[in-house]
Amino acid sequence: MKKPELLVTPKSVNHIKALLEAGADAFVIGEQQFGLRLAGEFSIEDVKEATTLIHAAGKKVYVAMNAIFHNDRVPGLAPYMMALEKIGVDAIYYGDPAVVMTKRETGSKIPLHWDAETIATNWFQVNYWGKRGATRAYLARELGIEEIVEIKENADVEIEVQVHGMTCMFQSKRPLLGNYFLYQDKAMEIENRKDARNMYLHDKERNNKYPIYEDLNGTHIYSPADMCIIDELEELFEANVDVFRIEGVLQEEAYVVTVVEQYRKAIDTFFEDEDAYFDMKEQLVKAIEDVQPALRPLDTGFFFKETVY
């Protein structure tokens, strides 16, 4: 077995500094013009500053280019990719084949990580994109543990899974929030809706609150609970899953730091003494529960098929 890379999505350059101290191995950053559902907005200058900081610590920085690109946004891909090449980022996350074609046309040497959200569900797809240049695949969050293990056993590329945080359950390219309020003649009340990340859809029947926000890529609705499998990692360890991702989107910076600290402790402890990891499971969960927002219960996502939206 080998230690998995502990990857996190940070909110700012200052946040990266704290997350490095907490034990993160790698970071996914970018800007909404090219990347989907990022925890924070990083301009090219921010990417440059973050890359210098992360590389100085001996860690890795990846940039998200996993948006769904329409014709009008495709011309911006090549200049952006070449800017990332100059900065020296370690990889690019993509879902759209336009990114693969851009890499070929520009001659970029940046490795690609395939991130196609909900459709990354079998090892045939993983290996298909591996043959076209991807070195890693970020699996769909709707997979059970047995499916993940089977994909890993048959994959020719690295496999990444989310182990903690919010999961997106719906995206529309339409500005649904803006359209809704405009229909009610309330446009003035949501003038800054693209900067608002504190809204919820309230399902009174199930007593659930679903985080929702709107940005350049449309409208995004998230699960009512946070995935947390810090006490159920052994099967992923044994399967040699390469990357554990902690999603920082819509979370407070201090919360993400605490979560990374606990997963760092879990990983290191397991590889030093498996029995010690089993003995400390309750302690790990308790540390996260102590900082967990009241509106956000914890569950195990789809790992054991318990999540129902």
* 162 and 198 inside one domain: no
Interval 289-307 mean pLDDT: 84
* 196 and 264 inside one domain: no
Segments in the chain forming alpha helices (H): 13-22, 44-56, 77-87, 97-106, 123-130, 145-154, 176-183, 234-238, 253-272, 274-279, 281-289
* pLDDT, position 308: 52
Task: Domain count for the chain, please give it.
Answer: 2
* pLDDT, position 194: 52
Interval 114-140 mean pLDDT: 93
Interval 264-291 mean pLDDT: 97
Cα separation, 280 vs 45, whole angstroms? 41
End-to-end, the C-alpha distance of the chain in Å comes to: 35
CATH code, 279:
3.20.20.70
Cα separation, 84 vs 63, whole angstroms? 8
**Band (210; pLDDT cuts 50, 70, 90):** confident
* pLDDT, position 118: 78
Residue 178 has pLDDT above 60, yes or no: no
Q: Is residue 9 part of a domain?
A: yes
Residue 172 has pLDDT above 90, yes or no: no
Q: Treating both helix axes as pointing N-terminal to C-terminal, what angle do 281-289 and 253-272 enclose, rounded to 10 degrees?
A: 180
* 79 and 107 inside one domain: yes
* 205 and 252 inside one domain: no
Domain assignment of residue 212, given as a range = 171-219
* 154 and 106 inside one domain: yes
Residue 81 has pLDDT above 70, yes or no: yes
* 159 and 58 inside one domain: yes
Which of 199, 219, 239 delimits the end of a domain? 219
* 15 and 122 inside one domain: yes
Question: Do 240 and 148 touch, CB atoms closer than 8 A?
Answer: no
Lowest-confidence range among 64-78, 92-106, 270-284, 291-305?
291-305
Selected residue with higher pLDDT from 139 and 301:
139
Q: What is the dihedral of CA 172, 176, 179, 185, to 10 degrees?
A: 180
Instruction: Give percent above pLDDT 90 in the chain.
Output: 71
Question: Do 110 and 134 touch, CB atoms closer than 8 A?
Answer: no
**Band (187; pLDDT cuts 50, 70, 90):** very low
Sequence-ordered list of residues with C-beta below 8 angstroms from that of 171, at least 6 positions apart, any chain: 36, 217, 218, 219, 220, 221
* 33 and 107 inside one domain: yes
From residue 173, give the alpha-carbon distance in Å to each of 61, 155, 216, 267.
Answer: 28, 32, 9, 38
Instruction: Give percent above pLDDT 70 in the chain.
Output: 87
Q: Is residue 84 part of a domain?
A: yes
* pLDDT, position 188: 39
Selected residue with higher pLDDT from 199 and 263:
263
* pLDDT, position 177: 61
Please state the separation of Cα 145 from the chain's center in Å: 18
* pLDDT, position 110: 98
Interval 197-217 mean pLDDT: 71
Q: Indicate yes or no: pTM above 0.85.
A: yes
Strands 298-299 and 134-138: unpaired
Name the nearest CA neighbour of 242 among 167, 165, 172, 139: 139
Q: Is residue 288 part of a domain?
A: yes
Residue 190 has pLDDT above 60, yes or no: no
pLDDT in tens, 215-258: 777 776 778 788 999 999 999 999 999 999 999 988 899 999 99
**Band (53; pLDDT cuts 50, 70, 90):** very high
Interval 98-122 mean pLDDT: 94
Q: Is residue 309 part of a domain?
A: no
Interval 68-96 mean pLDDT: 96
* 41 and 162 inside one domain: yes
Would you tell me how many other CB atoms lie within 10 Å of the CB of residue 181?
A: 17
Q: Is residue 140 part of a domain?
A: yes
Lowest-confidence range among 2-11, 20-29, 169-178, 232-241?
169-178
Interval 189-195 mean pLDDT: 47
* pLDDT, position 192: 45
